[in-house]
Structure 1
Amino acid sequence: MFKTALIGAACVLAPLSVAAQVTLTAETSSPGGGAHYVSTTFAAALDSAGVANLQMTEGATLTNSVQAVAEGRLDVTTAPLILPFLLSRGIGPYSGVGKEKGAELAAEIRALYFHAAAHQTFGYYDSKPVADIRKLDGLRIWNGPPRGAALTSGRAMIQLLGGIKDGEGYEGVQTPWPDAVSTITSGAVEAWSIPSALPGGREIQFSAAGAITLFDVPSDLLNSELGQQIVKAPGHAPFSVPVDVYRAAYEGNDVTIVTDDDTFDTYSTAFAEIVRASMDEDLVFDIVTAMLDAQSRFEEGAPMGPYLNLTFGDIDGVSQGACGAVKIKMHPGAIRAYEAKGHTVADCLRP
């Protein structure tokens, strides 16, 4: 894990702007994924607008980051929406927090905006292919970091494809995010299930070490009872992109895309950028306004930009995975910023 301080513009160029900036602490995932791109682009947008200087820690374990925001030890983090859900119940990685304290902490979390920058894929190296992705028994499969939302989603993919659970039908391998690429490229595992952007930076790194094949979820499995349970599970949302568009995103890289129809279908990980409820409303208004003004920067700054599902318009809550089992609310300053731009925000997201 390492830190990148995003410094404001030089005083000689923008003295008023720099004077208005506040310094906030922030955390995000490792480079290469969509969540990292969203967070760092957000930080750059705030810096350019003279609103805030985010001192960003990269490669963080977001399970810890979400709790740190709720406790007031951290100002901003990107958060898979399953984490506030688990925290509110004191279960999973937050079982040590307990139900009562977890509910109190989750009630302190507010969303600034939403995105779904990562979708679940299954892959392997062509030099050692998996004969049938529905028969994964006995394999060593990288399925996520040691804990958190990505591990839950990775395990769900293997259970859906092969009907087996981690430690029972296959050996799940987990490493911290900074070690994911080296673990997979070293040949230490026979396949992987990983949340990906489009195109995925990690997948491009994988393919630099040898040709790879990526799979979506076969239609019959996706439409099965278990498949729909996974798609609708807390922290998930449906993902579907025309396969031609998906393949074009990886053009020039040694990546083969396999689907059973003309779309790449799977489930995405629903995210929000979160702060504590007590953050100053006017500051949040300025922060979210700067984010909305930076739409072209988000969408044009990287090939994955158009596929981030960032909320630059009306927010209905359901599409963001936030108004079902996940009960997260938006910060009043964020709601005010959206409404000032002429957008609507669903009642279920209001505190």
Structure 2
Amino acid sequence: MFKAPIAGALLAVLPAVTFAQVTLTAETTSPGSTPHYIDTTLAGVLESAGVATLQITEGATLTNSVQAVAEGQLDMAPAPLILPFLLSRGIGPYSGVGEEQGAELASNLRALFFTAASAQIFGHYDSGAISDITELEGMRIWNGPPRGAALTSGRAAVQLLSGLQEGEGYEGIQSPWPDTVSTITGGGADGWTIPEGLPSGRQIAIASAGAITIYDMPSDLLNSELGQQIVNAPGHAPYSVPVEEVRAAYAGNDITIVTDDDTFDSFATAFAQIVPAGMDEQLAYDITSAFLAGQERFETGSPRGPYLFLSFGDVDGVSQGVCGAVNMAMHPGAIRAYEDAGHTIADCLRP
């Protein structure tokens, strides 16, 4: 009988707050990953701005998340751009969908903003079986979750490094994202290749079980015909960071960084933050406006902030990994938010 009066009294003395207008559903990858940091930071930004409450499911396989957004069953997800590309053709993990339905589903996707913060790395325990990352014959290599963009990129990385195809020269090990660290630390793989942000909490967790070495993609291989095909493949973008910054990011951990020059060079996994095409335009505008206004929070909320490569300025499409083989239009509300903030949007991104 005292609950209502007490609640009223508390509300009377609490400072005024802005309550979120809508609740949105989202899926993202496991804690420690770049998409997870971006999505959880976005949730905080949207909540603070009073735009929306973002209910996030972690540890998702983004192959499924992209399809769920396209079908209107999910409000938002980070999408490696290779996935909308494959969906639009009904191939790869979407072969069961078929070309016609895949194209229809892909046409239901719109981007709010872009990022290319996860670079493909190769790692192994210093005490393990690998001593030369170009000699992986007979090795067990963790190369991604059971399916999806990371697996495609992981297989490409091993082929670039060693010339080997999975099942023909090495054993590919896959596990769901939440099981990645335990699979590797439990001895389930001789080496691993993963798209990682900088620094990666996952690599730090792996190193807690023993000293590891992380490599970029060697320059001669990255600049080869195959290397450039991989860099320019749908869903990829170039990635280069001064190696001393990479070493500084992992200082204090048992992690050695190896490159053949002064930069850590690889290919990045290009992402779009996707929503259904039918999302209310004003809501898409408000979300994107809050994202743009939250730049400092994204860049300072984590040591990886400076390396997110989020699209806080003009969007030319090419730098974001779109306007080529990948055709990903932005939501009209997002375009309006960018333009109201003084930024330009390439015509190829307009629906």
Please give the TM-score of this superposition, normalised by the length of structure 2. 0.95
What amino acid does structure 2 have at the position aligned with 1:242? Answer: P
- CA offset digits 1:111-135 (Å, max 9, x no partner): 0000112110001001115121111
Name the SS for the 1:64 alignment partner.
helix
Name the SS for the 1:330 alignment partner.
coil
- Map 1:142-181 to 2 at 5 A: 142-181=142-181
1:68 aligned onto 2:68: yes
Name the SS for the 1:46 alignment partner.
helix
What amino acid does structure 2 have at the position aligned with 1:298? Answer: F
Q: 2:253 is matched with which residue?
A: 253
What amino acid does structure 2 have at the position aligned with 1:53? Answer: T
Unaligned 5+ segments in structure 2 are 1-9
1:341 aligned onto 2:341: yes
Q: 1:108 is matched with which residue?
A: 108
Q: 2:49 is matched with which residue?
A: 49
Report the Cα distance in structure 2 between the residues aligned to 1:36 and 1:167, rounded to whole angstroms. 31
What amino acid does structure 1 have at the position aligned with 2:287? Answer: I
Report the Cα distance in structure 2 between the residues aligned to 1:97 and 1:194, rounded to whole angstroms. 27
Name the SS for the 1:124 alignment partner.
strand
Q: 2:85 is matched with which residue?
A: 85
1:14 Cα shift? 4.0
Name the SS for the 1:329 alignment partner.
coil
Name the SS for the 2:137 alignment partner.
coil
Report the Cα distance in structure 2 between the residues aligned to 1:92 and 1:276, rounded to whole angstroms. 22
- CA offset digits 1:31-85 (Å, max 9, x no partner): 1110110111011100010000011101111100100000000001111010000
Q: 1:304 is matched with which residue?
A: 304
Report the Cα distance in structure 2 between the residues aligned to 1:23 and 1:112, rounded to whole angstroms. 17
Report the Cα distance in structure 2 between the residues aligned to 1:269 and 1:26, rounded to whole angstroms. 20
Q: 1:119 is matched with which residue?
A: 119
- Overall identity of the aligned pairs, in %: 70
Q: 1:239 is matched with which residue?
A: 239
Q: 1:186 is matched with which residue?
A: 186
Report the Cα distance in structure 2 between the residues aligned to 1:180 and 1:258, rounded to whole angstroms. 22
1:205 aligned onto 2:205: yes
Report the Cα distance in structure 1 between the residues aligned to 2:158 and 2:81, rounded to whole angstroms. 21
Report the Cα distance in structure 2 between the residues aligned to 1:74 and 1:221, rounded to whole angstroms. 39
1:324 Cα shift? 0.8
1:315 aligned onto 2:310: no
- CA offset digits 1:6-32 (Å, max 9, x no partner): xxxx975445x21x5101111101111
Unaligned 5+ segments in structure 1 are 1-9
Report the Cα distance in structure 2 between the residues aligned to 1:100 and 1:245, rounded to whole angstroms. 46
Give the direction of change, closer, same or farther, for the CA distance of 1:337–1:190 in structure 2 (3 Å limit).
same
What amino acid does structure 2 have at the position aligned with 1:312? Answer: F
Report the Cα distance in structure 2 between the residues aligned to 1:87 and 1:107, rounded to whole angstroms. 10
Q: How big is the alpha-carbon RMSD for the aligned residues of Structure 1 and Structure 2?
A: 1.1
Name the SS for the 2:115 alignment partner.
strand
- CA offset digits 1:214-242 (Å, max 9, x no partner): 00111110000000000000000010011
What amino acid does structure 1 have at the position aligned with 2:343? Answer: H
Give the direction of change, closer, same or farther, for the CA distance of 1:114–1:266 in structure 2 (3 Å limit).
same
Q: 2:140 is matched with which residue?
A: 140
Name the SS for the 2:230 alignment partner.
helix
What amino acid does structure 1 have at the position aligned with 2:113? Answer: Y
Q: 2:270 is matched with which residue?
A: 270
- CA offset digits 1:312-331 (Å, max 9, x no partner): 10000000001110001000
1:187 Cα shift? 1.3
Report the Cα distance in structure 1 between the residues aligned to 2:131 and 2:77, rounded to whole angstroms. 40
Name the SS for the 1:320 alignment partner.
coil
- CA offset digits 1:148-184 (Å, max 9, x no partner): 0000000000000000001110000000000000000
- CA offset digits 1:221-269 (Å, max 9, x no partner): 0000000000000000010011111111111111000001111100000
Please give the TM-score of this superposition, normalised by the length of structure 1. 0.95
Report the Cα distance in structure 2 between the residues aligned to 1:129 and 1:288, rounded to whole angstroms. 47
After TM superposition, the runs of 4+ consecutive aligned structure 1 residues lying more than 6 A away are: none
Name the SS for the 2:134 alignment partner.
coil
What amino acid does structure 2 have at the position aligned with 1:347? Answer: D
Report the Cα distance in structure 1 between the residues aligned to 2:119 and 2:100, rounded to whole angstroms. 32
Report the Cα distance in structure 1 between the residues aligned to 2:76 and 2:108, rounded to whole angstroms. 13
Q: 2:326 is matched with which residue?
A: 326
Q: 1:215 is matched with which residue?
A: 215
Report the Cα distance in structure 2 between the residues aligned to 1:282 and 1:299, rounded to whole angstroms. 26
Report the Cα distance in structure 1 between the residues aligned to 2:152 and 2:15, rounded to whole angstroms. 47
- CA offset digits 1:186-209 (Å, max 9, x no partner): 111100001111001100001111
Report the Cα distance in structure 1 between the residues aligned to 2:28 and 2:188, rounded to whole angstroms. 26
